Amino acid sequence: AQKVTQAQTEISVVEKEDVTLDCVYETRDTTYYLFWYKQPPSGELVFLIRRNSFDEQNEISGRYSWNFQKSTSSFNFTITASQVVDSAVYFCALSDRGDNQGGKLIFGQGTELSVKP
């Protein structure tokens, strides 16, 4: 069965600290897609990144970076120099299809990040 686990329920940091959000996934598929979404208090899930299982190259986008490791089935997300505006619930998700033809997303429980000034 496919499953996503975000063991950290809540994280609280002070502004400018670095913070890493953990994500561990389970799947029997050899090809799959992983995603990170951000959910601010407004409720809308905002897409952050998609990663294909064939591409293990880590990615940096501004203050955000992602570390994908197939060997440990992890797809962790780091925010460098956190800001108050980063406060939100962050979800890691796995697509149940290994191709690019859509399919459902399987979400973790989410990690609520609170960045204090």
Partner 1 sequence: DAGVTQSPTHLIKTRGQQVTLRCSPKSGHDTVSWYQQALGQGPQFIFQYYEEEERQRGNFPDRFSGHQFPNYSSELNVNALLLGDSALYLCASSLIQRGENIQYFGAGTRLSVL
> Which residues contact partner 1 by CB under 8 A?
4, 33, 35, 37, 42-47, 50, 91, 93, 95, 97, 99-110
State in angstroms the smallest separation of the CB of 111 from partner 1: 10
12: its two tokens: 């609280």
State in angstroms the smallest separation of the CB of 64 from partner 1: 16
CB of 58 or CB of 100, closer to partner 1: 100
CB of 82 or CB of 95, closer to partner 1: 95
State in angstroms the smallest separation of the CB of 33 from partner 1: 6
Measured distance CA(80)–CA(112) in Å, rounded:
17
CB of 70 or CB of 104, closer to partner 1: 104
Strands of the chain (E only): list them. Answer: 3-5, 10-14, 19-21, 24-26, 33-39, 46-52, 59-61, 64-69, 74-79, 88-95, 105-107, 111-116
Distances (CA, A) of 93 to 17, 33, 87: 25, 8, 19
State in angstroms the smallest separation of the CB of 55 from partner 1: 14
